[in-house]
Structure 1
Amino acid sequence: MVTSVLAPHLAAPVVLRRRRMRGLTPGRSAGLVGFAAFLISVAWSWQPSFWGDEAASIMSAERSLPSLFGLLDSVDAVHGLYYLFLHGWIDLFGASELSTRLPSAIAIGIAAAGTVVLARFFMGSRVAIGGGLIFALIPRVTYMGAEARSTAIATAIAVWLTVLLVHTLRSGTAGRGRLVMLWLGYSVLLALGMYVFLFLALLLPVHAVIVVLAASRHPLWRNVAAWLAANVFGLLLAAPIILIGTSQREQIAFIGRRPTVTVTEAAVMQWFDTIPVAIMAWSLIIVAVLAVFLRRPGAHRSQNLPGRAGLTIFLVWLVVPSAILLVGTQLVTPMYSLRYLSLCAPAVGVVIAVGVAALATNWVRTLAVAALLTAIVPAYAVQRGDFGKNEGSDWRQVADVIAARATPGDGVVFDQSVRPSRVPRLAMHVYPDAFVGLHDVTLTRRYADTGWLWDEVAPLSDVLPAITDLNRIWLLQYSGSGESRRETDVHTLTLQGFHVAETTLVNRTRIIEMTR
């Protein structure tokens, strides 16, 4: 019976045949891996400029609480708990790049520690530690670990929710009261995770597989019944965010306007960012599958590898959520986004570590790890560069130019012809000091006074009286917008007696100084 295969793994930790690493207890090893993961994510996290989604986080968090709740009533309720957290965090530590991204780096450390704890249920400590470290190095993880968004926190909750599930299933002989408390904790953590990230529900099919494979000392129906009851209660607790998120589903309509993601593109971009990293990673994943499923029963123990059922759990975690979104996008409505699958990254790290451990000799393993690191380092360096976010966001550099050259009383006009997350106007909100004293010519209502994420603005041609007393105006234009759109504001100001004094291209933002 398939359920009996996993029983030894859930009944007790795997017995190591090698000598235990001296002084490295399970808790200490998980803690050290978590600390290393934190350092990897936090290093140079302050270097890249903010980008649009981070601007949404910071601008929402900096609202007054009444304004924030007014916003969540109409949009972004699924991020509401994170915005509330960030509201208090910014009050304490400020809104710099390092400060606002630090919670994500901490969350990656917590997730990596949890990955080690979880993997140790099914395999030897060396492989589990390797899984936690590889997880910390995956390009998708290093990206979200240096971003002011909720994805990293949701991933940490996903890992520890799974740890709690496996621990609860292993506690089958515990007293009834303790089991009730464990299942209650599972319900609460599930609900909390969905308030942070609604798509955490993608983890439930994975947990269903764990429950089915976990029947050991109790009948299968008892585990399934307890888990279903815990899920029902957790979903009831999360019902408000599920209902509000459903009513605001139009906010992800932008996915439908993007090109359809192919399976091949997802295989590269979902976690690995570049083709070399993807080739190395998928090769090791294939090695893991072949090593565990094609070897004779019991042979895996000499290398501390998981059994077939153990590896199945991580493979299901790796594949099923992605398949659900890809199929759902094709058959129901656009719902696939690369970042939604970040919560699968812990499983990716563990399976890759199994592939490394399954290689024939220590030399081959060392070469495989070295090759993987060699492929990852360039991607990491790009992420930590000045323009490492959103394919080249340059708002901090733009702010530096404005701070150095503009003077109080000058006007500023922003290109509004691009999608909201790339509008140059957001530079003023995430780097406000550089724009102090400048006249925002086209602003009609500030974002904090609306029920929407962004400022309300008017076309420049509708607010010409506002420039009557101005002698210098700075145009900030997105270089990717059409030439005719970029020239519209220049032409409008030229008719009002201005001329182009100087043009500066930062990275993807063009700064045009116009004077009378």
Structure 2
Amino acid sequence: MTVSAARTPPRWAAPAIGVFAALVGFWGSWIPSYWGDEAASLMSAVRPLSSLPAELLHVDAVHGAYYLLLHAWVDLLGPSEAATRSLSAIAIGIAAAGIVLLGARWWKPSVGVAAGIVFALLPRTTDLAVEARSYALSIAAAVWLTLWISSIIRRGGARRWEWVGYAVATAASGALFLYLLFLPAVHLVAALTATRVGADPAPAAIGAARTRLLRGWLRATVGAAVLSLPFVVVTLAQKDQVAFLANRGYLTLQNVLATQWFSTPGTAIVLWTPILIGAIASLSVGRRGPLGRLAAGLGAAAGTRESDPHASRSVPAFWPTLVWLLLPTLALVLLDVAIAPTYNMRYTAYSLPAAALLAGAGIAALSGWIARGPGASASLVVCGLLAVAVSVAPHYASQRTEFAKDGGADFRAAADVIAADAEPGDALLFGESVRPSRNPRLVYRLYQDRFTDMADPQLRIAYDRKAGLWDTLAPVSEVASELTAQRIWLIERPAAGHTAADTLTLMDAGYRLVQRTTLPRTEVLQFEKTTGGNP
């Protein structure tokens, strides 16, 4: 399978599809409440910059580069959901534009366009676009780093500064998201399978260029590893922060084959079809028998004919794309099985572009195989993309509801309940939680502007004054006897099992329960002071 290096998409295609992807991703980003992982991002972004190193040396070093970037972003745009998540939406747009260029370079322009649109519509893509975490940025980094190495391959790897830049960019990508350090393996496959290496088509020149290319890759990869070593050491020292994966059971066949890329089994079925067709169209197989003829026909429709005058000067797309698709999952599964629980569907997000590229190749190949003439083929591509859009629409809508995050995150709703009736001088109390990412205290930290002039009697050590991420609070039972506020607002997570005990403690301290608001995950209880103790 080969593609023309000379073929390029229309100049408008990459930026237009990039803007489309960013807008699709950003739309409705302000609707869902923040959830626990985003709380870690926001709290790290708004704490004094001078206190951030202490946090990162203790926890979340793996997200340090993103927290620094988000810190500047929040300083510029503020801490709202729309503001923080817009960074991810923009990253998705940048990634989509890169996919258009990569698809055109590795296949042909129609594949790049189809792949960019498919990527923009993938449920996992649109989910990460409304997420104040580093995953969307890691996808963009993966795409453009791959474009970088493909350019180096086409030029034969003779420019030393390109390799230095590649090494630095690889290390920087790893700092953004640790598992991007697997990506050079994808690039090695691209270098090993390239049929166009350098500008001279003579066999001797190609051989010399390939040797130079592999040496450059090896040196750059070693350089990136050396640059990344301190970061990797610090990150490995904090491996206990992913110990929660042992209790989640993420490593299932459904998650691996469907959820991590497509979110739902129905969408997976729709999208695995063009991916498999794209794989068949991309493989160089014999032309004997029905499968051979099918593959030959699909390959010709995808622009991979052996008679293509540019075939000897192009980069085989299938093998590096296949490795890009499978390596992140295989690596995490092996680590999960052999060493410790490691697999998480979100950690493989940077393989989404590979799924989109193969799906785009499949849509373009099947439409070209069925249709007669470029107009009919383009119409079938549009129909294929519309089918993808229809299949993902219900999930897209569900992602943009108030309680969409983390199966029902309702921090903002709890904050709004209190803000609607609270008065200056009221006191806030928070129940305990077994999971910091679902702690009721996050209601206060995420939406602090709702609680102006309210007392915070439980606070012992603020998170930004220690080497950690979360506030240190006294339990309700410890502060209840000292409360003097006329009204108390208690935020509880019923699943933690402390609501009844905390309620009884406040009643014994001279308060009566006057209102209880139940939300999907949280309860907000309002108490007023009495004069006779427990009524």
The answer, yes or no, to whether TM exceeds 0.5 is yes
| Paired position in structure 2 for 1:471 | 486
**Aligned-pair CA distance for 1:493:** 1.1
How far apart are residue 303 of structure 1 and its match? Answer: 2.1
Bigger shift: 434-443 or 179-188? 434-443
1:334 alignment partner in structure 2:
341
Q: What amino acid sits opposite 2:492 in the alignment?
A: Q
Decide which moves more: 367-376 or 263-272: 367-376
Partner of 2:431: 415
Q: What secondary structure sits across from 1:454 in the alignment? A: coil
- Is 2:415 aligned against 1:399? yes
In the alignment, what sits opposite 1:77? 61
Residue 153 of structure 1 is matched in structure 2 by: 137
Cross-structure match for 2:288: none
Does residue 124 of structure 1 match 2:108? Answer: yes
Which residue pairs with 2:448 in the alignment?
Answer: 432
Q: Determine if contact 1:45/1:146 at 8 Å carries over to the other structure.
A: yes
Partner residue in 1 for 2:526: 513
**Alpha-carbon distance in 1 for matches of 2:207, 2:148:** 18
Name the CA distance, whole Å, in 2 between partners of 1:185 and 1:299: 40
Deviations 1:295-338 (A, max 9, x none): 45864454235589412221221112111111210111111111
Q: In 2, distance between residues paired with 1:260 and 1:306?
A: 38
Q: In structure 2, what is the equivalent of residue 322 of structure 1? A: 329
- How far, CA to CA, are the matches of 1:367 and 1:36 in structure 2? 18
Supply the distance in 1 between the matched residues of 2:166 and 2:392 (Cα, whole angstroms): 35
Return the alpha-carbon distance in structure 1 between the equivalents of residues 281 and 141 of structure 2: 30
Does 2:459 correspond to 1:443?
A: yes
Residue 497 (structure 1) aligned with residue 496 (structure 2): no
CA distance in 2, matches of 1:316, 1:137: 22
- Kindly report which structure 2 residues correspond to 1:84-483, keeping only aligned pairs within 5 A, or say none: 84-172=68-156, 176=158, 179-214=159-194, 216=197, 217-219=206-208, 220-293=210-283, 294-295=291-292, 299-300=297-298, 302-305=300-303, 309-359=316-366, 360-361=370-371, 362=377, 365-467=381-483, 469-482=484-497
Local SS of the residue matching 2:130: coil
Shift of 1:223: 2.1
Q: Which amino acid aligns with 1:265?
A: N
Residue 13 of structure 1 is matched in structure 2 by: 6
The match for 2:501 among 466, 488, 495 is 488
Tell me: CA distance 1:262–1:510, structure 2 relative to 1, closer, same or farther (3 Å): same
Contact residue 282 and residue 317 of structure 2 kept, 8 A: no
Residue 266 of structure 2 aligns with an amino acid whose one-letter code is P
AA partner of residue 87 (structure 2): P
TM-score, normalised relative to structure 2: 0.88
> Is the CA contact 1:168–1:182 (under 8 Å) kept in the aligned structure 2?
yes
2 CA distance for matches of 1:289 and 1:265? 21
| Match of residue 44 from structure 1 | 28
Structure-1 separation of matches of 2:282 and 2:134: 35
Task: Tell me which residue corresponds to 1:19.
Answer: none
User: Residues 306 and 339 (structure 1 numbering): CA distance in 2 closer, same or farther, change over 3 Å?
Assistant: farther
Alpha-carbon deviations, 1:216-267, whole Å to 9, x = none? 4234433221101011111222222111111111111111222242122222
Which amino acid in 2 is paired with 1:435? F
Determine the structure 2 residue equivalent to 1:53: 37
3-state SS of paired residue (2:144): helix
Q: How many angstroms apart in 2 are the aligned matches of 1:375 and 1:499?
A: 51
Change beyond 3 A, Cα 1:471–1:390: same
After superposition, the Cα gap between the structure-2 partners of 1:156 and 1:449, relative to the gap in structure 1 and judged at 3 Å, is same
Judge which range, 25-34 or 132-141, deviates more. 25-34
CA contact (8 A) 1:211 1:224 kept: yes
Q: Aligned partners of 2:17 and 2:255: how far apart in 1?
A: 30
Question: 1:78-124: CA deviations, max 9, x gaps?
Answer: 21121112212211211111111111111111111111111111211
What per-residue deviation string (whole Å, max 9, x for no partner) do you get for residues 415-470 of structure 1? Answer: 22231111121111111111112222322111111111000012111223331x12
CA distance in structure 1 between the partners assigned to 2:129 and 2:207 by the alignment: 40
CA contact (8 A) 1:122 1:306 kept: no
Q: Cα RMSD between the aligned structures? A: 2.1
Q: Secondary structure at the match of 2:527?
A: strand
Q: Is the 8 A contact 2:431 2:475 kept in 1?
A: no
Write out per-residue CA displacement over residues 182-220 of structure 1, whole angstroms, 9 at most, x where no aligned residue.
111111110110111111112222122112112542344
CA pair 187-306 structure 1, distance change in 2 beyond 3 A: farther
Instruction: Tell me which amino acid in the other structure corresponds to 1:205.
Output: A
Asked whether the 8 Å contact 1:14–1:122 carries over to 2, the reply is no
Q: Secondary structure at the match of 1:259?
A: coil
Unaligned runs of 5+ residues in structure 2 are 198-205, 284-290, 306-314, 372-376, 530-535
2:430 and 2:476 in contact (8 A); partners too: no
Cα contact 2:194–2:316 (8 A) shared by 1: no
* 2:265 maps to amino acid: I
Distance 2:85 2:169 in 1: 23
